[in-house]
Each structure stands twice: as C-alpha cells, then as structure tokens.
C-alpha cells in the first residue's frame, strides 16, 4: 500500500486491515490498522482489543421501533463482543415495556429468556421470550434514562443486564436476560421496540457503543 508523508497533512495511506495491518508486530498479521473510523488491533489476522466506539444517536420520536442495522450503516461490526444501548429521555405513547431484539441478517424475535423488575410502583416483574425486556412496565408520561449492556459468550450466544431510571422519582428498572438459542450468525443489528410492538416512540434519543 502506498504511504504519503506530508509536512502539512501528515501521514496517509496506512489504513491496512486485520490481515495486513499498517503497523506490523512480531508476525505479518499482528499489528495496528485504521478502519471504519477507528484504530483497531490485529492479533494473528483477527481484529482484537478494539477500542470502544460510539455509534450515531437516533431520535426516538416516532415509529414503533428504532433500528441500528447495516441498512443505514449503523449496524454492529463483526468484531464486536459487547454492545451498550443508551437511553436518554425515551418515551412511548403507551405502557408496553421496552424490548431489545438482536439479529444476524434479520431481527430475531424468539429464543430469549429475559426479565425486568421495578423497585417502586407496581413492584412486579415482566418476562419475555421475544426479546430482552428492559422495563417492568412503561408509563406513557415518563421519560427513561439508562443503559443496557449486551455481551457475547461466544458461539453467537448473548447475555444482557441493564438499569433504567424514570423521570418519576423512586422508580428504577433492573433487567437481565439472554438468548437461549444461538443467533443464526454474527450479530449485526439491534432493534429497540416494545413488547406489544404497536406503541410509538415520542421523545428522546437512543445510541449504541460497541467494543
């Protein structure tokens, strides 16, 4: 690959790849390379030790679902081992709990084990096999803030835990879950929706980070 060194623009042309990193270590396919807007490490030809990368925030002000997918270049890179979903002032039109669904090629709507509970209010719990449920119950007038972490066990199996607070004092939602069956392939997309699938988002924003 050609490399350009300029006193005004710096060094360019050192993107490389996992198989042919720009800065090579002890063997031909171990080193550092630049790709897709981040600095990445290559270990024996495989991307590894990749730093935390923030996605592009999406407004959650309309629609019944918010997707991070390859369709609009906001999907999950193949090297990601953990994904964090961040909620900022998110609200919907109804009371159906928020649901996170994973996918490889398409969104997976079965094969989950998940539960969410709330420390105040109804003090109940909600379960779902259609996705990772992250609220015990929603309140249409409330805004939700917090994070849900989703990490791989390997073999396309994923587990999650999260905490979301509401704009109403004293209500904290705790959640945990995972995929009881493996995804059909490498995770490449995440959908945030509701259990009933019909409540519409009407406030806030959602973003992801992956590493």
Domain boundaries, the chain: 4-48, 53-210
Residue 192, C-beta contacts closer than 8 angstroms, at least 6 positions apart: 60, 65, 66, 67, 85, 98, 99, 100, 206
106-161 per-position pLDDT tens digit: 999 999 999 999 987 556 789 999 999 999 989 999 999 999 999 999 999 999 99
- CB within 8 Å of 164: residues ≥ 6 apart: 87, 98, 134, 135, 144, 145, 146, 147, 148, 172, 173, 175
- The per-residue pLDDT for range 93-109, each reduced to its tens digit, is 999 999 999 999 999 99
Confidence of residue 19 (pLDDT cuts 50, 70, 90): confident
Rounded to whole angstroms, the Cα distance separating 25 from 97 reads 49
pTM listed for this prediction: 0.80
Query: Strands 53-54 and 157-166: what pairing?
Result: unpaired
Q: Nearest CA to 126 among 174, 85, 84?
A: 174
pLDDT of residue 165: 94
Mean pLDDT of the chain: 90
Q: What is the pLDDT of residue 36?
A: 62
**DSSP-derived secondary structure for 115-184:** EEEESSTT--EEEESSSEE--S---TT--EEEEEEEEEEETTEEEEEEEEEESSTT-EEEEEEEESS--S
Pairing outcome for strands 4-6 and 201-210 = unpaired
């Amino acid at each position: 690959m050609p490399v350009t060194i300029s006193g005004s623009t710096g060094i360019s042309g050192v993107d490389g790849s996992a198989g042919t990193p720009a800065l090579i270590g002890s063997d031909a396919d171990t080193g550092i390379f630049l790709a897709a807007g981040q600095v990445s490490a290559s270990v024996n030809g495989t991307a590894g030790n990749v730093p935390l990368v923030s996605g592009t925030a999406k407004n959650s002000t309309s629609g019944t679902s918010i997707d991070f997918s390859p369709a609009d270049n906001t999907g999950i890179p193949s090297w990601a081992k953990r994904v964090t979903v961040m909620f900022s002032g998110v609200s919907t039109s109804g009371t159906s709990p928020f649901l996170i669904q994973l996918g490889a090629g398409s969104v997976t709507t079965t094969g989950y084990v998940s539960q969410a509970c709330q420390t105040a209010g109804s003090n109940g719990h909600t379960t779902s096999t259609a996705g990772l449920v992250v609220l015990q119950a929603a309140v249409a007038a409330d805004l939700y803030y917090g994070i849900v972490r989703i990490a791989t066990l390997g073999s396309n199996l994923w587990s999650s835990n999260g905490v979301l607070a509401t704009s109403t004092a004293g209500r904290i939602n705790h959640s945990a879950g995972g995929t009881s069956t493996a995804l059909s392939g490498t995770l490449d997309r995440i959908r945030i929706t509701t259990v009933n699938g019909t409540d519409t988002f009407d406030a806030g924003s959602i973003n992801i980070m992956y590493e």
